[in-house]
Homo-oligomer: A and B are copies of this chain.
Amino acid sequence: MFKRNIKISGIGTYVPNRTVYSSEIDSLIGAKSGWSERKSGVKKRYFVTDETASFMGAEAAKRAIEDASIKLEEVDCIVSGSGTMEQAIPCNAALIQKQLGLQHSGVPSFDVNSTCLSFLTALDMISYAIESGRFQNVLIVSSEIASVGLNWKQDESSILFGDGAVAVVVSKSNGQSKIISSHMETYSVGAHLSEIRGGGTKLHPREYSEQKKEDFLFDMDGKAIFKLSYKIMPTFINKLFKDTNLAMDDIKMVIPHQASASAMRIIRKKLGVNEDSFMTIIENYGNMIAASIPMALFESIKQGKVQRGDKVLFLGTSAGLSIGGIILEY
């Protein structure tokens, strides 16, 4: 229970120009028409053609800044909260700063990474610095390109993902908007249940070969992840709500990571939340890694399902395996 008086004062998104319907995925993986949509719950998602993560991130950021009614020059920190990197060095935030035309600004720019929970972890951690007055307007950008790392021979994972970016401006609030509670747990017993083994210092790209190519692609054991997540979820939720004087009924909208349609359905029932209070956007975007939760927030706001003063619950699991949540008074 460590309240922080911060406010998501603006939000913006960018999706790639190319829309990919599940019929196209069916052809790609050699499945019967309709199979991948039935299996994943994803009707369409977006894949990049020539867009880079920093380009998408900067486009989303410009819209978030406009939505927050501030000037670009008022941004005083840029945090990339993404599970994928554009290049090995430097960090994404510096590349986004450049795309925004802030290359001479000196605005501090760094990355926070906890894979699919990167947005939540970035928001959670930076909120303390904002509350203390260190920063006034922090841009958190989650920009993800999943498509380049998918293994089309692994139906279970490849049919789920989409690319895109979401950015928010986070500012100090007068106390109306706030983080009411936040909590994160990591169980690395599941560290290898979803991973890309290659691309880092353990298996350098020079080791890439036809035989080893799957080591450089996303590999996921969905059933094992779900089993572990399902087991740790109830205690986690209790800890998140502890000392808040709130119950699940007080939450206007649960905004989950869009991991997979079937997993979300079971988790929703486990939490005892009805469909109207559980934001699902996977059918139109797929799983956008760390951009999923803020994209679901964006859609909740756009569709009028979340308004200022409403309490929302961000909740998700990620590779690691980590589970994270924030109760936010929006």
Contacts and interface: CB of A to CB of B under 8 A. Distances in A.
Interface residues of A, number: 77
A198 B94 contact: no
B201 A320 contact: no
A84 interface: yes
A121 B90 CA distance: 14
Contacts of A195: 87-90
Interface string A110-122: 1111110110010
Copies in the complex: 2
A322 B110 contact: yes
B114 A110 contact: yes
B112 A52 contact: no
Contact of A87 (B94, B134, B185, B197): B197
Interface stretch (A203-211, A247-255, A263-271, A297-305): A203-211
Contacts of A83: 89
B102 A188 contact: yes
A148 B117 CA distance: 29
16 contacts: A2-B134, A78-B186, A87-B199, A88-B149, A88-B196, A93-B114, A95-B191, A103-B189, A105-B187, A106-B186, A110-B118, A110-B121, A111-B114, A145-B201, A148-B201, A199-B200
